[in-house]
Structure 1
């Protein structure tokens, strides 16, 4: 079941290439298979087949295993070595042995461990879970957004739209935009977002989908989701993937922290606006700019006088590289 129609990846690929040219970027670089693979976790030799719709989907356990191995192979420590399992697991207070089955491809990690692995490597919350089409779709959207201005809706309607996309409350969205995202325990966050999905993605008769119907879509019983619905436990990784697939949301919907969830929604909105080729700058752009400036000023305000001078010197260097005026009002 899909709440929103999935885009045609081949058409999306073409639009990203056209957008890249309009932005003065080389489409071959923006659409590099290696780059898209790095963003999505999809193996390079599968990218074109996924876009063409000819790649068979990889089973979840194998997919998660392959992407974990790819993370270790492409995101190395400062010495160029693969991160040991113990170092990865220590980041989320687990023993290295707990990642043994994932590394060997003999089992799926717990949901909390999957969240920890993705956070450790700095990838989006659906990196391990997203099906190939979703992963490439997201990577293409990110490629399209590179080098363009981000957008953020203002006013009640805009916040409700973001709430629908992210599962966050309007209040949480405002706090996140202000640089003060709420920090919820993973169990509470997943419960709230699951309830948000049930409340906002209804059946044709206007009623929520039953737990049995949701679970049946991934060959489980409705009872397997009871504790999640009551806020008493986390689903396993396969169930989380099934819930997100059932509701047609991206693979990190349940796991993404508020900042990432909002960034994902904004990236999607940004691409939608760009692909529509609106001629006038969206008025919502000023809102995000204001929040960015406020965040920078707030952090800069904690600097020492020496820190202020260092920041000013850095900005002068940056302005010079951009061909802008420096502090003395002279063109570099």
Structure 2
């Protein structure tokens, strides 16, 4: 993001401190470096320097490598062990060896593999790519305990922020987000950037100008512009940096992109004295949770146990506490009902 357009992190930090105090929260807890680090992937020891603007920015390959190692170290399986490369890669139908260079810090993953790693660990789509300031900005926005609430969504603004057409935003708010293949999604959002972020003369930036910003040729973006292929990870990072958008702009699925835009808008509004509400709650409400619970309620006890085990795995890799007995430090409780409770739609 161009420096002139980026928020002053020190001011943002002070604003979040004030919001925390007004809401009765301990600012030191809200802005704990370890907590922010889990949200953004930046090493907790670096966060004060990032806020002060004095932290050196690591090369992309090293940054992605460090964040991948941090994901494996902080988001473990239900037994408290690091997820194996094979288990992570299996989730997106790739061999574990394909993540070897990423784990060793000797190379970047393919764009689809980066998307798969982030989806596996339940982190936002730019987690591996975002530069430190972008990452901390996002964490601070997500941490603000007293963000204001707006009225009806401005579809055009949300479209500009997310790269989604207004029709898809309506569908997403209604709980039925379109499911595009990654290649088509990245192509559409790239074209959205070229169409909505123009040169000073009102014309789209050329492929050559975009590619030159990250020392590549315009031809390297031709297939992406035609919708015929995915860019590599370095090119995706370069495109997003060129246009000053979040490091996950090309990769975020519609629900995540919309939730992120809503979080940013709520943070801008920051009306003191209102109760905070997680911006993801509005998106979650749009999904038909009751039908999921009803269907799960018809499972046998063995089916409930299988579902509980699956949820433990999912919660563990996203860094959320699981149920008792599922592994060290787990506290979340999943109840396996008897047959009668299951038949009556008993919820976990």
Given the two structures, how large is their TM-score scaled by the length of structure 1?
0.85
- Once residues 38 and 62 of structure 1 are traced to their aligned partners in structure 2, the CA distance between those partners, rounded to angstroms, is 18
Give the 5 Å matches for 1:1-332: 2=2, 5-144=5-144, 146=145, 151=150, 153-154=152-153, 158-274=154-270, 277=271, 292=285, 295-296=288-289, 299=292, 306=341, 310-311=346-347
Q: Take 1:142 and 1:182, find their aligned partners in 2: how far apart are those partners?
A: 25
Residue 290 of structure 1, CA deviation = 9.7
Superposed CA RMSD in Å reads: 2.6
Deviation of 1:39 (Å): 0.7
Change in Cα spacing, 1:260 to 1:150, as seen in structure 2 (3 Å) is farther
Contact conserved, 2:148 with 2:267, CA < 8 A, in 1? no
Provide the C-alpha distance between the structure 2 equivalents of 1:254 and 1:102, rounded to a whole number of angstroms.
20
| Partner SS for 2:5 | coil
CA contact (8 A) 2:293 2:345 kept: no
Residue deviations 1:167-212, cap 9 Å, x none?
Answer: 0011111111111111100000000000000000001111000001
In structure 2, how many angstroms separate the alpha carbons of the residues matched to 1:79 and 1:201?
47
**Offset from partner CA, 1:222-254 (integer Å, 9 cap, x none):** 111000000001000000000000000000000
Q: Within 1, Cα distance between the matches of 2:126 and 2:94?
A: 21
Q: Give deviations 1:241-284, integer Å, cap 9, x for gaps.
A: 0000000000000000001000110110110011xx37899xxx
Alpha-carbon distance in 2 for matches of 1:186, 1:200: 21
Q: Distance in 2 between matches of 1:8 and 1:264?
A: 19
Please state how far the C-alpha of 1:295 moved relative to its aligned partner: 3.5
| Segments of 4+ moved more than 6 angstroms | 278-281
SS at match of 1:182: coil
Say which SS state the counterpart of residue 45 (structure 2) adopts.
helix
Q: Is contact 2:259–2:283 with CA below 8 Å preserved after alignment?
A: no
Q: Aligned partners of 1:297, 1:89: CA distance in 2, in Å?
A: 32
User: Which ranges of structure 1 fall in alignment gaps of 5 or more residues?
Assistant: 315-332
TM-score (norm 2): 0.81
Change (3 A) 1:181 1:221: same
Corresponding residue of 1:324: none
Q: Structure 2: which 5+ residue stretches go unaligned?
A: 299-339
Seen in structure 2, the aligned counterparts of structure 1 residues 272 and 32 have a Cα distance that, compared at 3 Å, is same
For the residues of structure 2 that align with 1:127 and 1:290, how far apart are their CA atoms?
21
Rounded Cα–Cα distance in structure 1 between residues aligned with 2:151 and 2:259: 10
| Alpha-carbon distance in 2 for matches of 1:116, 1:280 | 37
Is the Cα–Cα contact under 8 Å of residues 149 and 269 in structure 2 kept in the other structure?
no
Deviations 1:138-192 (A, max 9, x none): 0000001x465654643xxx11110000000111111111111111000000000
Q: Secondary structure at the match of 1:45?
A: coil
Give SS of 2:178's match. Answer: coil
Aligned length: 303
